[in-house]
Chain A
């Protein structure tokens, strides 16, 4: 079937911004940095996505949602490809997205440091993650792994609330 040739790439990006991350429903897949590229190969639209975490179970759901959205917009000829060439990092999240995370009660990721020496960081004390509710610094790591692969579990000693932190990777 013929693609409408005039749907511009920026239009496609705006459609994709309507696709919500199923596990973090305040963010869309563009803000998350999951959609890497949109291009036409001849008549066919190619959307490249990359998984946040290798075993992220939401990837299938995200792919299906993208299919649904593009069809809903009348696009018939397209492919969604998973691309591993670049590895996803929380640095691809926009500042706006990080603010939305915080408002939602998830402590956003800081900028990743390419600390050359992971082994010595293994031995040093944990970093400080401010509480997303009361901004207190007196928080403690409870588990490196939270409800989803991308989050760890913290507790705020100030407001006595457990909260999740989006891991920096």
Chain B
């Protein structure tokens, strides 16, 4: 299905679209996290960030592999390496440059909290054995990501003046990209009809409660939910940051398509 034709007509098309949307969020976020390898503020965090990156890229890999099977593509690598920015369906929040550690943790927390509620609903709804099995597996790992990033929001927000300021700046900067998590379009609705997706707006309040509670406890102020929100990434309208990310992620595979590690 091309980017400009995002209304899936069949159950299979609807499923592929959802697998790719979930997969793209996780691959791009995972790639941003992987940029921390060797740069973490301390050894434990370096390992933690690499571990979370690995989980997220693993989630993408299983979702893509299933999409490839349904879509008649050779394997999951097709989606990761041979599509252009306009074909990626991830939300913009995950493609923003990694920034400092506070930014990375603020984004991780907002996204993991969203993923937690999304997956909690999805595993009760998704009427496809293989897809649901994957979701249950990812869900266990998402809980760890949420716990980990939430602890850091407390430590940084309620830490030194410097860490407090950086964390507040991070939430303020990310805020306009949070609205997209709760955008719904025709492709989502098509998937909902086949019991392959859920109405994301149905858990927005739960997400807000957890975010408000966490930020308040971390002595941070909660930005305005009604401010201008960026949108359109799921339909391929990305920020300027995705292109360079893909260039780095894809160039080796595109230059040497059949290269193998020996």
Q: What residues of chain A have their CB less than 8 Å away from a CB belonging to chain B?
A: 51, 53-57, 84-88, 118-119, 122, 142-149, 153, 167, 169
Whether, in the assembled complex, B54 has its beta carbon less than 8 Å from a beta carbon of chain A, the answer is yes
Given contacts A119-B210, A169-B141, are A153 and B55 in contact (CB under 8 A)? no
Sorted nearest first, the 8 A-B pairs with minimum C-beta distance are A55-B58, A54-B58, A55-B54, A87-B137, A145-B48, A143-B44, A145-B51, A87-B136
Given contacts A87-B133, A118-B143, A147-B47, are A54 and B148 in contact (CB under 8 A)? no
| Chain B contact residues: helix, strand, loop or mixed | helix
The listed residue with most A CB atoms (<10 A of its CB), out of B59, B62, B140, B148, is: B140
A54 to B210, CA, bound (A): 26
The listed residue with most A CB atoms (<10 A of its CB), out of B47, B56, B61, B138, is: B47
11 extra A-B contacts, CB within 8 A, seeds A51-B58, A54-B61, A55-B56? A53-B54, A55-B53, A55-B54, A55-B59, A84-B62, A85-B130, A86-B133, A88-B137, A143-B48, A144-B48, A145-B47
| Chain A contact residues: helix, strand, loop or mixed | loop
Residue of B nearest to A88 (CB): B137
Residue of B nearest to A85 (CB): B133
Whether, in the assembled complex, B156 has its beta carbon less than 8 Å from a beta carbon of chain A, the answer is no
Q: What residues of chain B have their CB less than 8 Å away from a CB belonging to chain A?
A: 44-45, 47-48, 51-59, 61-62, 66, 116, 129-130, 133-134, 136-138, 140-141, 143-144, 146-148, 150, 210
Asked whether A85 lies within 8 Å of B51 as measured between CB atoms, the reply is: no
Measured between beta carbons, the chain A residues less than 8 angstroms from B58 are: 51, 53-56
A15 to chain B, nearest CB (A): 27
B131 to chain A, nearest CB (A): 9
A29 to B57, CA, bound (A): 23
Task: List 26 interface pairs A-B (beta carbons < 8 Å), by A numbering.
Answer: A53-B55, A53-B58, A54-B55, A54-B58, A54-B59, A55-B54, A55-B56, A55-B59, A84-B66, A84-B134, A85-B129, A85-B130, A85-B133, A86-B133, A87-B136, A87-B140, A122-B146, A122-B147, A122-B150, A142-B44, A144-B147, A145-B44, A145-B47, A145-B48, A146-B47, A149-B54
A85 to B45, CA, bound (A): 32
Contact check: which of A55, A85, A87, A145 meets B57 at CB < 8 Å? A55
Asked whether A153 lies within 8 Å of B44 as measured between CB atoms, the reply is: yes
Asked whether A57 lies within 8 Å of B54 as measured between CB atoms, the reply is: yes
A93 to chain B, nearest CB (A): 15
Asked whether A149 lies within 8 Å of B51 as measured between CB atoms, the reply is: yes
Contact check: which of A55, A87, A143 meets B61 at CB < 8 Å? A55
The listed residue with most B CB atoms (<10 A of its CB), out of A57, A86, A144, is: A144
A122 to B213, CA, bound (A): 12
Measured between beta carbons, the chain A residues less than 8 angstroms from B148 are: 144-145
Residue of B nearest to A90 (CB): B140
Residue of B nearest to A122 (CB): B147
A144 to B143, CA, bound (A): 11
